Amino acid sequence: MGSIVRTFVLGFGLAVLLGGAPAPAAAQWLVTDARRIGMGGLSLGRSGSVARYNPAYRAVQAEAARHGQPKLTIPIPLGIIQFLHDHPHLSSDPAFDYKSRGFNPILVANTILNLPLYLEVKQAPTPTNDVAFTIGQDSLRVNLGATSQLVPEDQFGISGSSRPIDPGFGYKGFRVGVMGWLHDDAQLQLGDKLLAFLRDSVPARHNTLYSADVHALVASGFAPTVGYAGRITGDSARGFYVGGALHYYVGVGYGRTDGLVGDSTSDTLFAGSNPVNPIGRTLTQYSKPGNTLGHGIGADIGVAWVSGPIEIGFGVNDIGATITWPDTRLDSAFYNDSGYSKPVANHVETKTKLPVSYIANLAYSVGNTTLGADVLNTGRGSVVHVGGEQRLGLFAVRGGVARDQRKRIEFGFGGGVRFGGLGLDVGFWTHTNSLSNERGITMATSLSIY
Amino acid sequence: MRAKWLCLVALTAAAVGCGEGRAIFDIDVFSFLSGAKADTLPYVGPLPPGVPDTIPVQTVRSLGLGSSSVVDTVRFIGSVDFVNASGTGSVTFAVYFDSLKNTVYTGTPWFSVSAAVTPGATTTSPFDVDIIDPAMRKLFLASTVYVGIRVSATGAISGTAKLSALRARVVIQDKIF
């Protein structure tokens, strides 16, 4: 029984961890460039997110968009030293050994989601928070205290649309290629009863369903692409650039499940011998690799304007990207004490839709000063970065501010020193946890080659 | 027992979010006994052969946490009424816990309450007991704990021991699993 409980707790904890609060932060700060971190995560010119989401930047010359950027950045992962100090015997550390009773997959997942590349200069304070459980044969009440703030009222989860590979060739601005695409989406929405029980400390009631809605989707394939990016007016110093790409999405496979998981209480809350009696109802749709390929059409567009020290860009990805899957199987599944599933339909047509992403960016570079801002939305809320850099001879100082998908404000600052073609950069960024307004500070370091 | 699922969800929220805080469990053991009508036990002294001095072993749903959790406190708070019908003497009310049903009464009691009784009088004996033994504390990490009660009488007396409250307060340090 203990193992069942532990498995359940760990499993649910992993779901919360993977889908909850840390995910946006991880997505935002998956950056290894200390210079960029020092500017609050700002993307400049052809770096970072700008070139990914704005096809016009294929045509913007690197020189025009350099803003003091290095050609190559090599991260110095000082955080690994700290991590190894905290876990000196990693191979025998029970927390990382799945065969051990002390195995802690939440710690493992947290380590993976927040790779220990950076040095934790100041830990975000974790508030002391008691939680109270009142248990009787026919009563159950939980008071999570401040932790109840962690219980999400709205739908939460992780999702993304990525292009792991994008090979191709171009000529005079035109480009032909084949990109790989991957779309993943996992969502969880607590039901009202479960939410009240956890967040508002409402006692458990008889004959009540406590449940959560679940949704998961993963789809992948490739997309033959034709595109164009070019300067339609001006020169390399002052020009207006446009870019676009038309994708014919070919879906290799996808799977999707929607449903409900939970449990309903009976006449007496704690009665009988069965310790856990979950209920699940899901509808699963899938088109396996080897089935008839999915297909759809979508487009990216972007514009960029470079005028001396000013640069403005706007790009949108995956416009109208709806994938039609002509050979899908639908299964329903039920679980209540024991599980069974039955086919609903086969060889039917279903559709999935890639999220539309957009980015808007602004940069101003004059002399040794660079200022910039960008807004990125990948379908789950906007992330805003504002930052700048001032170069002073061999040295550079940087600062920036960011608003993440949770609408929390974080700060970045840092500096660098450059010797000829080699530079050393240090960037600091703040981060908060969900229970405290006090911030921790993390330090990133990297080498830059100019 | 289906509410166990809710316990698990809440435990998880606590595990992920409560930082260095403690998890405090207030288990109403009495509710499990009274639900099975095992909160009352007659006593007779001296005990005639064949007359039981114990209740049938009862099941209490406990925490179901990993053994690596650190139990800071296990404390029992409650009260027992000795409703004495006849005779003068003393009564001892002993409470047993174990992880195995068939060995509940083979060990020593976790705690006991004694009282002097007089004819026709009800003696109320409140108790507040801290469990010191770390091994005993760990028992409450299990998902199921078995409880038993034994009443022994000294002197020629008869009556009924009625448990009116028995709560276990279990405090777990921050490492829930």
Confidence of residue A100 (pLDDT cuts 50, 70, 90): low
Q: State the average pLDDT over residues A152-180.
A: 86
Contacts of B38 in chain A (CB under 8 A): none
Q: Which of A211, A270, A337, A435 to mutate to test the interface with B (most CBs of B within 10 A)?
A: A270
- What confidence tens digit (pLDDT) does each residue in A278-304 have? 788 899 999 999 889 999 999 999 999
The answer, for B12 touching chain A at a CB cutoff of 8 Å, is: yes
**Between B83 and A41, where is the model more confident?**
B83
With 90 as the cut, is the pLDDT of residue A305 above it? yes
- C-beta atoms of A277 and B3 within 8 A: no
Question: Which segment of A155-164, A231-240, B168-177 scores lowest on mean pLDDT?
Answer: B168-177
Question: Which segment of A3-7, A111-115, A275-279, A357-361 scores lowest on mean pLDDT?
Answer: A3-7
* Partner-chain residue, chosen from B15, B25, B67, that has the shortest CB–CB distance to A13: B15
Q: State the average pLDDT over residues B30-35.
A: 91
Closest CA to A330 of A351, A348, A356: A348
> Residue A325: its pLDDT value, please?
95
Question: Which segment of A21-35, A134-148, B114-128 scores lowest on mean pLDDT?
Answer: A21-35
- What confidence tens digit (pLDDT) does each residue in A364-407 have? 988 888 999 999 988 878 889 999 999 888 899 999 999 987 77
Ramachandran sector of residue A320 (left: φ over 0; alpha: ψ -120 to 50; beta: rest): left
* Partner-chain residue, chosen from A137, A263, A266, that has the shortest CB–CB distance to B32: A137
Question: Which segment of A3-17, A124-138, A293-307, A345-359 scores lowest on mean pLDDT?
Answer: A3-17
- C-beta atoms of A272 and B5 within 8 A: no
Note the CATH architecture for domain B21-174.
Answer: Sandwich (2.60)
> Residue A280: its pLDDT value, please?
85
ipTM above 0.90, yes or no: no
The answer, for A323 touching chain B at a CB cutoff of 8 Å, is: no
Confidence of residue B5 (pLDDT cuts 50, 70, 90): low
Q: State the average pLDDT over residues A227-247.
A: 91
Cα A314 from Cα A304, distance rounded (Å): 6
User: Which residues have a Cβ under 8 Å from the Cβ of A148 and sit 6 or more positions away?
Assistant: A198, A199, A200, A201, B13
Cα A44 from Cα A206, distance rounded (Å): 58
- The average confidence (pLDDT) of chain A is 82
Q: State the average pLDDT over residues B56-61.
A: 89
Question: Which segment of A143-147, A296-300, B107-111, B119-123 scores lowest on mean pLDDT?
Answer: A143-147
Q: State the average pLDDT over residues A45-55.
A: 80
Cα B32 from Cα B145, distance rounded (Å): 11
Residue extents of the structural domains in chain B: 21-174
Cβ atoms of B29 and A135 within 8 Å: the answer is no
Distance from CA of B135 to the nearest CA of A (A): 17
> Residue A437: its pLDDT value, please?
63
The answer, for B24 touching chain A at a CB cutoff of 8 Å, is: yes
Q: Which of A1, A3, A5, A141 to mutate to test the interface with B (most CBs of B within 10 A)?
A: A5
The answer, for B96 touching chain A at a CB cutoff of 8 Å, is: no
- DSSP assignment letter at A312: E
The answer, for A343 touching chain B at a CB cutoff of 8 Å, is: no
pTM summary value: 0.71
- C-beta atoms of B20 and A126 within 8 A: yes
**Between A114 and A152, where is the model more confident?**
A152
Between A and B, how many residue pairs show a Cβ–Cβ distance under 8 A?
Answer: 185
- C-beta atoms of A272 and B1 within 8 A: yes
> Residue A42: its pLDDT value, please?
87
Q: Which of A123, A137, A267 to mutate to test the interface with B (most CBs of B within 10 A)?
A: A137
Confidence of residue A39 (pLDDT cuts 50, 70, 90): very high
- C-beta atoms of B8 and A435 within 8 A: no
With 60 as the cut, is the pLDDT of residue A250 above it? yes
Cβ atoms of A219 and A248 within 8 Å: the answer is no
CA atoms within 13 A on the CB side of A63: 4
Rg (CA), chain A: 25
Cβ atoms of B113 and B132 within 8 Å: the answer is no
With 50 as the cut, is the pLDDT of residue A432 above it? yes
> Residue B4: its pLDDT value, please?
53
Q: The tokens of A118 are what?
A: 């950076």
Question: Which segment of A360-374, B5-19, B26-40 scores lowest on mean pLDDT?
Answer: B5-19
* Partner-chain residue, chosen from B2, B28, B66, that has the shortest CB–CB distance to A135: B28
If contacts are CB pairs under 8 Å, which of residues 384-443 in chain A contact chain B? Answer: 434-435
